[in-house]
Amino acid sequence: MAAPTSSHFALPGWKPGSRSGLARRGLMLVLSSPSGAGKTTLSRRLLAADDRITMSVSVTTRPPRPGEQDGKDYFFVSPERFAALRDNGELLEHATVFGNLYGTPRQAVEDALSAGRDVLFDIDWQGTQQLDQSAEQDLVKVFLLPPSAADLEQRLRTRAQDSEDVVQQRMSKASDEISHFTEYDYILINQDVDDSLGKLTAILQAERLKRRRLTGLASFVKDLRDAL
Ligand code: 5GP
Protein backbone atom coordinates (compact mmCIF):
# COMPACT_ATOMS: atom_id res chain seq x y z
CA MET A 1 0.00 0.00 0.00
CA ALA A 2 1.27 3.49 -0.80
CA ALA A 3 2.43 5.44 2.23
CA PRO A 4 -0.22 7.88 3.46
CA THR A 5 0.66 11.54 3.19
CA SER A 6 0.03 14.47 5.49
CA SER A 7 -2.25 16.06 2.93
CA HIS A 8 -4.91 13.76 4.39
CA PHE A 9 -4.67 15.62 7.65
CA ALA A 10 -6.30 18.95 6.82
CA LEU A 11 -6.96 21.34 9.70
CA PRO A 12 -10.69 21.63 10.43
CA GLY A 13 -12.64 24.72 9.45
CA TRP A 14 -9.90 26.40 7.48
CA LYS A 15 -9.38 27.09 3.80
CA PRO A 16 -6.48 29.10 2.41
CA GLY A 17 -7.83 32.47 1.39
CA SER A 18 -7.20 36.18 1.27
CA ARG A 19 -6.30 38.19 4.31
CA SER A 20 -6.33 41.85 5.03
CA GLY A 21 -3.83 44.14 6.72
CA LEU A 22 -0.10 43.72 7.02
CA ALA A 23 1.18 40.33 5.83
CA ARG A 24 2.24 38.16 8.74
CA ARG A 25 3.63 34.70 9.23
CA GLY A 26 1.44 32.61 11.52
CA LEU A 27 2.66 31.55 14.93
CA MET A 28 2.56 28.22 16.73
CA LEU A 29 0.87 28.52 20.11
CA VAL A 30 1.66 25.52 22.27
CA LEU A 31 -0.53 24.95 25.29
CA SER A 32 0.80 22.21 27.58
CA SER A 33 -0.33 21.08 31.00
CA PRO A 34 -0.80 17.94 33.05
CA SER A 35 -4.05 16.14 32.19
CA GLY A 36 -6.96 17.67 34.08
CA ALA A 37 -5.66 21.23 34.33
CA GLY A 38 -8.43 22.48 32.03
CA LYS A 39 -6.45 22.68 28.80
CA THR A 40 -9.17 21.29 26.55
CA THR A 41 -11.78 23.74 27.82
CA LEU A 42 -9.42 26.69 27.49
CA SER A 43 -8.41 25.64 23.96
CA ARG A 44 -12.04 25.37 22.88
CA ARG A 45 -12.82 28.78 24.33
CA LEU A 46 -9.89 30.36 22.52
CA LEU A 47 -10.83 28.77 19.20
CA ALA A 48 -14.42 29.97 19.58
CA ALA A 49 -13.30 33.50 20.48
CA ASP A 50 -10.69 33.98 17.76
CA ASP A 51 -11.17 33.00 14.13
CA ARG A 52 -7.53 33.58 13.18
CA ILE A 53 -6.29 30.52 15.05
CA THR A 54 -6.84 26.88 14.11
CA MET A 55 -6.29 23.73 16.14
CA SER A 56 -3.61 21.33 15.00
CA VAL A 57 -5.17 17.87 14.90
CA SER A 58 -2.68 15.20 15.95
CA VAL A 59 -2.45 11.62 14.80
CA THR A 60 -2.56 9.05 17.57
CA THR A 61 -2.58 5.30 18.05
CA ARG A 62 -4.77 5.66 21.15
CA PRO A 63 -8.35 4.40 20.73
CA PRO A 64 -11.06 7.08 20.56
CA ARG A 65 -12.84 7.97 23.83
CA PRO A 66 -16.65 8.14 23.81
CA GLY A 67 -17.72 11.20 21.85
CA GLU A 68 -14.36 11.78 20.15
CA GLN A 69 -14.47 12.22 16.38
CA ASP A 70 -11.86 11.10 13.89
CA GLY A 71 -10.45 14.14 12.08
CA LYS A 72 -11.71 16.56 14.72
CA ASP A 73 -10.25 15.48 18.06
CA TYR A 74 -7.52 13.32 16.56
CA PHE A 75 -6.78 11.32 13.47
CA PHE A 76 -6.94 7.81 14.91
CA VAL A 77 -4.42 5.61 13.12
CA SER A 78 -2.86 2.17 13.46
CA PRO A 79 0.69 1.80 14.79
CA GLU A 80 1.78 0.82 11.25
CA ARG A 81 0.34 3.95 9.71
CA PHE A 82 1.87 6.08 12.43
CA ALA A 83 5.29 4.51 11.78
CA ALA A 84 4.94 5.20 8.03
CA LEU A 85 4.14 8.88 8.64
CA ARG A 86 7.02 9.23 11.08
CA ASP A 87 9.50 7.45 8.81
CA ASN A 88 8.46 9.58 5.82
CA GLY A 89 9.23 12.75 7.78
CA GLU A 90 5.58 13.76 7.73
CA LEU A 91 5.38 14.52 11.44
CA LEU A 92 6.66 17.79 12.86
CA GLU A 93 7.15 16.11 16.21
CA HIS A 94 6.08 12.88 17.87
CA ALA A 95 6.16 11.29 21.30
CA THR A 96 4.94 8.36 23.34
CA VAL A 97 2.48 9.46 26.03
CA PHE A 98 0.84 6.95 28.41
CA GLY A 99 2.00 4.13 26.13
CA ASN A 100 0.38 5.55 22.98
CA LEU A 101 2.00 7.33 20.04
CA TYR A 102 1.08 10.92 19.24
CA GLY A 103 2.35 13.19 16.49
CA THR A 104 1.70 16.44 14.64
CA PRO A 105 1.13 16.22 10.86
CA ARG A 106 3.60 18.59 9.24
CA GLN A 107 2.03 19.77 5.98
CA ALA A 108 -1.21 21.24 7.33
CA VAL A 109 0.72 23.29 9.88
CA GLU A 110 3.25 24.61 7.38
CA ASP A 111 0.49 25.61 4.95
CA ALA A 112 -1.38 27.47 7.68
CA LEU A 113 1.69 29.33 8.95
CA SER A 114 2.78 30.51 5.54
CA ALA A 115 -0.77 31.74 4.88
CA GLY A 116 -0.58 33.89 8.02
CA ARG A 117 -2.77 31.61 10.06
CA ASP A 118 -1.94 30.80 13.71
CA VAL A 119 -2.02 27.21 14.93
CA LEU A 120 -2.83 25.99 18.43
CA PHE A 121 -1.14 22.82 19.69
CA ASP A 122 -2.20 20.62 22.58
CA ILE A 123 1.02 18.64 22.89
CA ASP A 124 3.18 17.54 25.79
CA TRP A 125 6.63 18.76 26.87
CA GLN A 126 8.43 16.19 24.68
CA GLY A 127 6.77 17.50 21.53
CA THR A 128 7.35 21.09 22.65
CA GLN A 129 11.08 20.41 23.03
CA GLN A 130 11.18 19.04 19.47
CA LEU A 131 9.37 22.09 18.06
CA ASP A 132 11.82 24.28 19.96
CA GLN A 133 14.62 22.64 17.98
CA SER A 134 12.95 22.88 14.58
CA ALA A 135 10.66 25.93 14.74
CA GLU A 136 11.84 28.14 17.60
CA GLN A 137 11.08 31.41 15.79
CA ASP A 138 7.45 30.48 15.23
CA LEU A 139 6.84 29.07 18.67
CA VAL A 140 5.00 30.58 21.65
CA LYS A 141 4.98 28.19 24.61
CA VAL A 142 2.33 28.43 27.31
CA PHE A 143 2.10 26.11 30.32
CA LEU A 144 -1.15 25.76 32.22
CA LEU A 145 -0.96 24.85 35.91
CA PRO A 146 -3.83 23.74 38.15
CA PRO A 147 -4.35 25.95 41.22
CA SER A 148 -3.76 22.95 43.53
CA ALA A 149 -3.19 19.19 43.56
CA ALA A 150 -6.68 18.64 45.00
CA ASP A 151 -8.19 20.62 42.14
CA LEU A 152 -6.31 18.54 39.57
CA GLU A 153 -7.43 15.26 41.14
CA GLN A 154 -11.03 16.42 41.29
CA ARG A 155 -11.03 17.43 37.63
CA LEU A 156 -9.54 14.08 36.61
CA ARG A 157 -12.23 12.23 38.55
CA THR A 158 -15.22 14.28 37.42
CA ARG A 159 -14.11 13.86 33.82
CA ALA A 160 -14.94 10.16 34.40
CA GLN A 161 -13.89 9.10 30.94
CA ASP A 162 -10.91 7.15 32.18
CA SER A 163 -10.66 4.05 34.35
CA GLU A 164 -9.32 4.33 37.92
CA ASP A 165 -6.01 2.90 36.71
CA VAL A 166 -5.66 5.61 34.10
CA VAL A 167 -6.61 8.34 36.63
CA GLN A 168 -3.86 7.08 38.97
CA GLN A 169 -1.40 6.95 36.10
CA ARG A 170 -2.25 10.52 35.09
CA MET A 171 -1.91 11.76 38.68
CA SER A 172 1.56 10.31 39.02
CA LYS A 173 2.55 11.66 35.60
CA ALA A 174 1.29 15.16 36.46
CA SER A 175 4.25 15.87 38.69
CA ASP A 176 6.71 14.86 35.92
CA GLU A 177 4.90 17.00 33.38
CA ILE A 178 4.84 20.01 35.73
CA SER A 179 8.61 19.73 36.28
CA HIS A 180 9.03 21.01 32.69
CA PHE A 181 7.44 24.40 33.41
CA THR A 182 10.81 26.17 33.05
CA GLU A 183 10.88 25.30 29.33
CA TYR A 184 7.82 27.51 28.63
CA ASP A 185 7.57 31.25 27.93
CA TYR A 186 4.34 31.91 29.81
CA ILE A 187 2.66 30.32 32.83
CA LEU A 188 -1.08 30.46 33.47
CA ILE A 189 -2.56 29.25 36.76
CA ASN A 190 -5.99 28.10 35.73
CA GLN A 191 -8.12 29.25 38.66
CA ASP A 192 -10.87 30.62 36.47
CA VAL A 193 -11.32 29.85 32.79
CA ASP A 194 -12.52 33.38 31.85
CA ASP A 195 -9.48 34.89 33.52
CA SER A 196 -7.15 32.39 31.81
CA LEU A 197 -8.79 33.05 28.44
CA GLY A 198 -8.26 36.80 28.86
CA LYS A 199 -4.59 36.25 29.64
CA LEU A 200 -4.10 33.77 26.81
CA THR A 201 -5.73 36.19 24.36
CA ALA A 202 -3.43 38.97 25.56
CA ILE A 203 -0.37 36.74 25.02
CA LEU A 204 -1.58 35.91 21.52
CA GLN A 205 -2.26 39.54 20.60
CA ALA A 206 1.18 40.64 21.77
CA GLU A 207 2.98 37.78 20.05
CA ARG A 208 1.19 38.54 16.77
CA LEU A 209 2.77 41.98 16.83
CA LYS A 210 6.35 40.72 17.05
CA ARG A 211 8.33 42.43 14.34
CA ARG A 212 9.87 39.22 12.99
CA ARG A 213 6.43 37.82 12.16
CA LEU A 214 5.41 40.82 10.05
CA THR A 215 6.59 39.62 6.67
CA GLY A 216 5.07 42.58 4.82
CA LEU A 217 6.61 45.18 7.09
CA ALA A 218 9.51 46.27 4.88
CA SER A 219 7.28 47.11 1.92
CA PHE A 220 4.63 48.67 4.16
CA VAL A 221 7.21 50.99 5.73
CA LYS A 222 8.75 51.72 2.33
CA ASP A 223 5.35 52.80 0.96
CA LEU A 224 4.80 54.86 4.09
CA ARG A 225 8.13 56.62 3.73
CA ASP A 226 7.74 57.10 -0.02
CA ALA A 227 4.50 58.92 0.68
CA LEU A 228 6.12 61.28 3.17
P1 5GP B 1 -5.05 12.53 25.54
O2 5GP B 1 -4.81 11.08 25.23
O3 5GP B 1 -5.55 12.75 26.94
O4 5GP B 1 -5.88 13.21 24.49
O5 5GP B 1 -3.61 13.24 25.49
C6 5GP B 1 -2.59 12.80 26.32
C7 5GP B 1 -1.41 13.74 26.21
O8 5GP B 1 -0.84 13.66 24.90
C9 5GP B 1 -1.74 15.22 26.45
O10 5GP B 1 -0.80 15.74 27.37
C11 5GP B 1 -1.55 15.86 25.11
O12 5GP B 1 -1.05 17.17 25.24
C13 5GP B 1 -0.51 14.96 24.47
N14 5GP B 1 -0.57 15.01 23.01
C15 5GP B 1 -1.65 15.02 22.22
N16 5GP B 1 -1.31 15.10 20.92
C17 5GP B 1 0.04 15.16 20.89
C18 5GP B 1 1.00 15.27 19.83
O19 5GP B 1 0.71 15.35 18.64
N20 5GP B 1 2.31 15.31 20.21
C21 5GP B 1 2.70 15.25 21.51
N22 5GP B 1 4.01 15.32 21.75
N23 5GP B 1 1.83 15.15 22.52
C24 5GP B 1 0.52 15.10 22.23
CA nearest ligand 1 atom 11, residue: 123
Is residue 124 in contact with ligand 1, taking CB distance under 6 Å? yes
| Full set of structural domains in the chain with CATH | 22-227 (3.40.50.300)
Task: Give me the phi and psi of 76, to 5 degrees please.
Answer: -90, 120
pLDDT at 19: 46
Q: Is the dihedral of CA 214, 217, 220, 225 positive or negative?
A: positive
123 Cα–ligand 1 center, Å? 5
The whole-number pLDDT of residue 18 equals 40
Query: Is 95 close to ligand 1, i.e. is its CB under 6 Å away?
Result: yes
Residue-level pLDDT at 98: 84
Q: Starting at the earlier edge strand, list the strands of the sheet with 53-55.
A: 53-55, 118-121, 28-32, 139-145, 186-189
Round the average pLDDT of the chain to a whole number and report it: 90
CA atoms of 86 and 92, how far apart (whole Å):
9
| Per-residue burial over 65-99, b = 16 or more CB atoms within 10 Å of its CB, e = otherwise | eeeeeeeebbbbbeeebbebbeeeebbbbbbebee
> What is the model's pLDDT at position 15?
54
Pocket test for ligand 1, best of 97, 119, 134 (most atoms within 8 A of CB): 97
Sites in the chain below the pLDDT cut of 50:
1-4, 6, 17-20
Q: How far out from the chain centre does Cα 183 lie? A: 15
pLDDT reported for residue 5: 53
Instruction: Give which of 133, 146, 122, 118 is closest to 51, Cα–Cα.
Output: 118
Q: How far is the CA of 215 from the centre of ligand 1 (A)?
A: 31
Given a contact cutoff of 8 angstroms between Cβ atoms, the answer to whether 9 and 107 are in contact is yes
CA-wise closest residue to 29 among 173, 147, 144: 144
End-to-end CA distance of the chain: 62
Q: Which residue of 28, 106, 124 sits with most ligand 1 atoms within 8 Å of its CB, as the best mutation to test the pocket?
A: 124
| For ligand 1, mutation pick of 65, 74, 98, 122 (most atoms within 8 Å of CB) | 122
Among residues 117, 125, 155, which one has the least CA distance to residue 35?
A: 155
**Spatial distance between the Cα atoms of 55 and 39, rounded to a whole number of angstroms:** 13
Please tell me if the CB atom of residue 43 comes closer than 6 angstroms to any atom of ligand 1.
no
pLDDT digits (tens, 9 = 90+) for 135-168: 999 999 999 999 999 999 888 888 766 788 888 8
The reply to whether ligand 1 has any atom less than 6 angstroms from the CB of 58 is yes
- What number does the ligand 1 atom closest to the CA of 35 have? 10
Q: How close is the Cα of 214 to the center of ligand 1, in Å?
A: 30
143, containing H or E segment: strand 139-145
